[in-house]
Chain A
Amino acid sequence: SQTIHQWPATLVQPVGSPLSLECTVEGTSNPNLYWYRQAAGRGLQLLFYSVGIGQISSEVPQNLSASRPQDRQFILSSKKLLLSDSGFYLCARSSGSGNEQFFGPGTRLTVL
């Protein structure tokens, strides 16, 4: 089966601290990977996507960055968190046919 893991599940960080969220995918090779953010009571906003190792496309200018050091690993980072970075961060992968996207369990980030 194809599974998406996200770590950690929840995180509380002070403003100005660094961030590293990890997403790993099992059971598939060369997936397209995505990071979305969901603010409270709102829809999902695409942050980054990657079609391969080292290939990152950014959708929204912000203080976040993403990296893909391995085929099945996608990392979301920040050097200094802002209050507005609070939200539910979701990693997703696409199927072999491209369009279908499947989401991981998410990471709840609270910046205080």
Chain B
Amino acid sequence: QQQVKQSPQSLIVQKGGIPIINCAYENTAFDYFPWYQQFPGKGPALLIAIRPDVSEKKEGRFTISFNKSAKQFSLHIMDSQPGDSATYFCAASRGGGADGLTFGKGTHLIIQP
């Protein structure tokens, strides 16, 4: 059972555009929702994270929108650059996160110059 569904699987956007990646979760016990960026051959790097008590969080060019009633959250990348080309993963955890993260399957993002 996949508890975090991520879409799209791949995405191509022109430089300066705003790619949007969506995730939906099933487990209402989840209370922490991070996004990770991964370059080929490297470990994932934490980008930004949100908790259900807020509907939006911005850090630099990255924004998370969160809809608790719909059990959905999304990542927006403003003014996208070719250097943002990477694989992005959403994830979720519960109760302090000691028992680990549940990941989506990832989105391969390409920003064309």
Complex CA distance for A92 and B32, rounded to whole angstroms: 17
6 contacts between A and B (CB under 8 A): A36-B100, A44-B91, A44-B101, A99-B34, A101-B46, A103-B36
Are B45's CB and A103's CB within 8 A? Answer: yes
Closest 9 CB pairs of A and B: A103-B43, A99-B97, A98-B96, A46-B100, A43-B103, A43-B105, A99-B32, A44-B103, A106-B43
B100 proximity list for chain A (CB < 8 A):
34, 36, 46, 49, 59, 101
Residues of B within 8 Å of A41, CB to CB, are 106
A44 partner, pick from B32, B45, B89, beta carbons under 8 A: B89
Contact with B along A88-112 (1 / 0, CB 8 A): 0010001000111111111010000
Chain A facing B: main interface SS: strand
A105, B45: Cα distance in complex, Å: 10
Q: Is the CB of A49 within 8 A of B93?
A: no
Give the CA-CA distance A99 to B42 in the complex, in Å. 21
Interface size class of B (residues with CB under 8 A): 20 to 34
Q: A42-B106, A43-B89, A43-B106 are in contact. Are A102 and B101 (CB under 8 A)?
A: no
* Given A43-B106, A49-B100: A105 and B89 interface contact (C-beta under 8 Å): no
| Residue among B41, B43, B46, B103 with the highest chain A CB neighbour number at 10 A | B43
Task: Confirm or deny: A28 has a beta carbon within 8 angstroms of a beta carbon on chain B.
Answer: no
